[in-house]
Each structure stands twice: as structure tokens, then as C-alpha cells.
């Protein structure tokens, strides 16, 4: 399986919209992002086109509209970003980085238990497992 493409911070915002629900038309993506970002319509359309060129997003033409869907799973993109981060901080002990992540983000009791299982080596095969993280919506 090939690695997911490098996705910029702005492109992540488009991907999150598509991971949340897809397929979506360009206008639906634009309208969603206009509510949460200061971007112009043209900027959002440029980001969509970049993601299509990177093969992170695919489309289906229906009449005069294009319906966009992610071609890469959220969990795979997260793993790739994690690999990139670890390469940049190569040689740095993992514990301070992991502690910083945990301190930055409030975890539920279930998430804490899962982390304990992963650290104990009992849940390593399920890393990235989860409905939202692993999903790639496809047209049926």
C-alpha cells in the first residue's frame, strides 16, 4: 500500500470536511469552510484541486457537478504525519513528546484505558482503529 500524500495544514481542513461526510460538491465544501475559516471561495477551490492532483481526493461527475470524496483514510494520514514528526525529532526521547500531546488534549477514561493497553503491548494491532479515524467514504 502506498503512503498517503503530504497534506498541508490548509488542505487538512478540506480533508476534515470530506472525512466528516462525503461525497460533497465543491459548493458544499466551500460553504462548510466559509463558516470556519477566513478563506475566499477561490482559495478553497484551489485547495480542492491540489488534493485531487495529489490523489488524496477523487471525484465523480454527475451532470454538471463534481462530487468529491477522500481517497485516503484519516487514520493513514495521521500515521504519516506522525512518522514525519518523529523523523523531524529523531533522537528526541518520545516520553516528553507523548506527555505534551496528552497534556494538550483532554482524554476520556476510555481513551486513557486504550493508551494503557497500547503501552502494555496489549492493543498495538488496533492503533488507529476507530470509526472516524479509519473511514474513507466511497460512492456506492
Lowest mean pLDDT among 5-19, 81-95, 106-120: 81-95
pLDDT at 49: 97
Q: Report pLDDT digits (tens) over 57-69.
A: 999 999 999 999 9
Across residues 132-140, what is the average pLDDT?
A: 40
List the chain domain ranges.
9-70, 74-126
Threshold 0.95, pTM exceeds:
no
Burial state string for 15-39 with b = 16 or more CB within 10 A and e = fewer than 16: bebbbeebbbebebbbebbeeeeeb
Of the two residues 63 and 122, the one the predictor is more confident about is 63
Q: Report pLDDT digits (tens) over 15-43.
A: 999 999 999 999 999 999 999 999 999 99
Q: What is the fold of 9-70?
A: Arc Repressor Mutant, subunit A (1.10.10)
Task: Name the pLDDT band for 137 (thresholds 50, 70, 90).
Answer: very low
Amino acid at each position: 500500500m502506498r503512503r498517503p500524500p503530504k497534506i498541508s495544514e490548509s488542505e487538512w481542513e478540506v480533508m476534515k470536511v470530506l472525512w466528516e461526510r462525503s461525497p460533497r460538491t465543491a459548493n458544499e465544501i466551500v460553504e462548510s469552510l466559509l463558516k470556519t475559516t477566513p478563506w475566499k471561495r477561490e482559495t478553497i477551490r484551489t485547495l480542492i484541486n491540489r488534493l485531487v492532483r495529489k490523489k488524496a481526493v477523487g471525484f465523480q461527475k454527475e451532470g454538471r457537478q463534481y462530487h468529491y470524496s477522500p481517497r485516503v483514510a484519516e487514520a493513514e494520514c495521521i500515521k504519516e504525519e506522525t512518522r514525519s514528526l518523529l523523523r523531524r525529532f529523531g533522537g528526541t526521547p518520545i516520553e516528553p513528546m507523548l506527555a505534551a500531546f496528552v497534556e494538550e488534549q483532554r482524554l476520556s477514561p476510555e481513551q486513557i484505558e486504550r493508551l494503557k493497553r497500547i503501552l502494555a503491548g496489549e492493543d498495538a494491532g488496533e492503533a488507529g482503529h476507530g470509526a472516524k479515524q479509519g473511514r474513507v467514504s466511497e460512492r456506492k
